[in-house]
Structure 1
Amino acid sequence: MADTFHDTDALVAALSDADLDRPPALVANAHITGVSVARALSAHDVPVIALDRTDSGVAPPSDAVDYAGQVTYPLDDADGFRADVERIAGALAFEPVAFACMDEWVRGFAETEPAGVRLPFSDLAGVERVLDKANLYALCEELGVPYPETYEVGETDADEIVERLAFPFVVKPAHKRKFEEAFGTNVIEVEDRGEFEDVVAEAEEYGATVLAQERVNVAVGADTSLASYVPPESADRDPLAVVGNAAVRYPEFGSSCLVERVEEPAVREHALTVLEETGYHGISESEFVYDADREEYVLLDVNTRPWKWISMPVAAGANLPMAAYADAVAEEEYEAEAATDGPRDGRWVYLPDYVRRCLTDEAFWDVLSEDDWRSLFSGEFEREGELTTGLYRPSDPAPAVRYLTGEFTDREYYCSC
């Protein structure tokens, strides 16, 4: 457990006195995804340093975190972020390995390339090839990977777009950041020509490239993603990958709160084909939805980072963070946990959202069994079985306590993941 969330100066001083026997991991940001990554690495005795712009995240009090502290937020000051991280790296006896848990932290590390820090994912150009949705969908077209009908505004005339796409349809950015600055979201559904033109005009003011996309007839409960770590070409190894089905969301079309491992060979094949073509290496989540009209999965997005339910593939025998760490620290041998006979069954639940869905949605029926709940309350799920959690662990209670005390006050964290 990190006893103190330091400011940058104090963190550098503390790390200068640290007695570490191997390269530590820098995990940023230090919230729900961050604590899952920290636990996956700490299970293999990797020291973890949690970084964030605020002390409100749930990761710092975890037993999996050795040190925690503040760094400049990369979206506020990229040069300041690089300088802070370089000072932290300079205080250490080993070059740390960076794990970025949200897009802004990925870009912060990839754009600034702090000296003395190992990045276990592609450079900025490689990340951009994946995150640029216009490029991603063009690759899908070339490779025969199904994706929603999509047009880039400007490349295709607005009259033609309206003619080809029936209202309502969705408007989304080719790159998230500028669009999010304008609208505070990544997807906007437009009902008519006027709404479409208003969104496009506002996006242009922010310099955001806009895509118009059909509204897919999504089969509820069938959303499926490939959780993967693709090693660098030099490693000459196969990707480590697990397919997960977001069986329950909160609210119904919100974020995942129950994810199950499933066998979907087409999802695995299509996602890895796209990733291979981009040349991207690192941890990623390739998101698909099942189109009830096409009767097949279509690729929506790829996130080039860990995400909220990354503990599920870890529990299923594919420790993606440890695999990334092992490749980054090439001078030593570190074995990533991987089931020898393929992934095991696994389920992940994020209890705060799952319980809210149970309590507030009269049409939803609890899909956890009495044995599941007994295992959760007793803590037995940590020792055996296929169930794991996003935050709550009786063996490591402090993150859940931090979350609950935050709910009881007006303290809010700036990111739900």
Structure 2
Amino acid sequence: MTRVPDTQRFVPVLLGADASTYSLARSFHEEYDVVSVAVSRLGAGPVANSRIIETSQVSDLDDADALVAHLLELGQRFGETPLILLSSTDFLVRRIVELRHKLEPRFTIPYPDLALIERMTDKAQFSELCGELAIAHPQTVVYEVARHPQLRDDAELLAGLKFPIIAKTGNSALYHQYDFPGKQKVHTAASREELMDLMQRVHDSGYPGTFILQDMIPGLDEGMRILTCYSDKSGAVRFASYGHVLMEEHLPATLGVPAAIVTGENHEVVQEAKRLLEHVGWRGYANFDLKYDPRDGRTKFFELNPRLGRSNFYVTASGHNPVRYYVEEYVEGSDLSDEPALLESSKEELYTSLPVPLLLRYLPNDLRRKVIGMAARGRVTNPMMYVRDPNPRRWAYVLAYGVNQVRKYARVYPPPKRDRDGQPA
């Protein structure tokens, strides 16, 4: 079993056990040659049998008292060694921030305060802020689920939206606590009848928050974009990493998570994000979901995630390891004065959590040729395939995971039909 060396100068403590947790641990290991501690209920899956991760099992991540007790016990074990506490999952980031008063100063927690996180992750407030700052975003209607019996017959409610539309939770952390038949991260509704059926199921689950109903921007997965920004302790945006999403996850539990990204640059979008983040005084990382709208040629902001994203290793693949900012500013105490005022990554690399042959089945002709060319030049990064983590049992898991991805996509998301030019038919 892997253990953190006694001589290690700081320890990343990561809540979770999924591929995003492994990606964070890999970034820390690549940059600083350190072992991370992954705290989860089972310690299985992507974080198991790893030489760069020590697994630490807690009875229940949803039990605040049990989690605090477990983390403070870790804190005692590591003595005076600095500990930095992170996650790439919304509800766990919220949990960390809610428990900040019980965990600091033993743990360094590089997230904004809860009030700002709630404001910026509330999709209705985020959309309103984009409107105030003239930042491109889709037409949006806020649906108060608790008022569904009164709203379902309101003929004026959806004025300005045309079906099909996108329907998604207004509060991801709250939504995590409720379940209903057919629950997904993002829903589509082809008609008012479909939308009302969905809202009835959400209402019956007891979910008390809002749903966001949005204009469906034309295009498939390859229309999506991603942007990750780091704001320093003074609130200045110091780093940005942009990517063109080629394909998203399509399994219900992870629907919408970018699975393949070509890294690159988009100065205009970065400047819009900078204006927004500095306006509200953000600190730490923010991850934006965006989509290119072919109708007006603008890239539109959908939402902000208060963390490094679940596909966070695309940033490392772009040539700029994101954990370095955490360590330099929060562990080493640097004021980043020796860093550029704003660094924008520009290197082109293919990040993919899917086997390349599977990815190629879903792409239009131009992107298929691009991916083939990048693969031929060795410009492909899979976050799970880390040569410095050679445990045979872990690699058996990684290979089996790739095979299962092929099977699952064949079942839940057959390749879309395209015309002769590779566009959606």
Shift of 1:362: 10
Unaligned stretches of 5+ residues in structure 2: 405-425
Q: Distance in 2 between matches of 1:139 and 1:341?
A: 25
CA distance 1:332–1:47, shift in 2 (3 Å): farther
Distance 1:146 1:303 in 2: 17
Alignment of 1:17-416 (within 5 A): 19-42=6-29, 43-65=31-53, 67-74=54-61, 76-93=62-79, 94-113=81-100, 114-115=102-103, 116-154=106-144, 158-180=154-176, 181-183=178-180, 184-204=183-203, 205-218=206-219, 221-233=222-234, 238-249=237-248, 255-331=257-333, 343-358=345-360, 365=368, 367-369=370-372, 372-373=375-376, 375=378, 386-398=379-391, 399-405=394-400
Maintained 8 Å contact 1:71/1:84? yes
- Superposed CA RMSD: 3.4
Paired residues of 2:185 and 2:256 also in contact (CA < 8 A):
no
- Which stretch has the larger CA shift, 137-146 or 110-119? 110-119
Per the TM alignment, residue 274 of structure 1 is displaced from its structure 2 partner at its CA by 1.9
Instruction: Provide the C-alpha distance between the structure 2 equivalents of 1:217 and 1:256, rounded to a whole number of angstroms.
Output: 18
Cα distance change, pair 356–371 in 1 and its aligned pair in 2 (3 A): closer
Between 132-141 and 54-63, the greater mean CA deviation after superposition: 54-63
String of CA shifts for 1:317-369, please: whole Å, max 9, x gaps: 32211211221114579999999985341313325353323357898846434
CA distance in 2: counterparts of 1:120 and 1:298, whole angstroms: 27
Which range moved further: 254-263 or 21-30? 254-263
Report if aligned partners of 2:139, 2:160 keep a CA contact under 8 Å in 1.
Answer: no
For each residue in 1:34-72, what CA deviation from the matched residue of structure 2 results, as whole angstroms up to 9, or x when unmatched?
A: 22211221222344212222222313433332x221124
Q: Distance in 2 between matches of 1:297 and 1:120?
A: 29
CA distance in 2, matches of 1:220, 1:361: 9
Contact 1:322 1:337 in 2 (8 A): no
**Matches of 2:249 and 2:319, distance apart in 1:** 26
Deviations, residues 262-307 of structure 1 (Å, cap 9, x unaligned): 2212211122222222322112211110112232111111122222
Deviations 1:356-387 (A, max 9, x none): 23357898846434673474xxxxxxxxxx54
218-227 vs 87-96, which deviates more? 218-227
Structure 1 spans left out of the alignment, 5+ residues: 5-13, 376-385, 410-417
Q: TM-score by structure 2 length?
A: 0.78
Residues 138/333 of structure 1: CA separation in 2 closer, same or farther (3 Å cut): closer
Q: Distance in 2 between matches of 1:315 and 1:83?
A: 36
Alpha-carbon distance between aligned partners in 2 of 1:262 and 1:178, rounded to the nearest angstrom: 33
How far apart, CA to CA, are the structure 2 residues paired with 1:103 and 1:287?
14
CA distance in 1, matches of 2:282, 2:293: 26
> What is the letter of the counterpart of residue 40 of structure 2?
D
- What amino acid maps onto 1:192 in structure 2? S
SS at structure 1 position matched to 2:46: coil
1:229 shift after superposition: 1.6
* Distance across 1 between alignment mates of 2:290 and 2:189: 22
User: Quick check: 2:247–2:260 contact (8 Å CA) kept in 1?
Assistant: yes
Name the CA distance, whole Å, in 2 between partners of 1:293 and 1:359: 26
Instruction: Count how many residue pairs are aligned between Structure 1 and Structure 2.
Output: 383
Instruction: Tell me the secondary structure at the aligned position of residue 159 of structure 2.
Output: helix
Moved more, 348-357 or 83-92: 348-357
Distance (whole Å) between structure 2 residues aligned to residue 131 and residue 296 of structure 1:
22
Aligned equivalent of 1:10? none
Instruction: Write out the 4+ residue segments of structure 1 that deviate beyond 6 Å after TM superposition.
Output: 332-341, 360-364
Amino acid at match of 1:394: V
Contact 2:240 2:344 in 1 (8 A): no
Cα deviation, residue 125, structure 1: 1.7
Q: Is the 8 A contact 1:317 1:339 kept in 2?
A: no
Q: State the distance in 1 between where 2:243 and 2:65 align.
A: 37
Normalised to the residue count of structure 1, the TM-score between the two structures is 0.80
SS in 1 for 2:371: coil
SS in 2 for 1:162: coil
Q: Specify the SS of the correspondent of 1:286.
A: strand
Q: Secondary structure at the match of 2:387?
A: coil
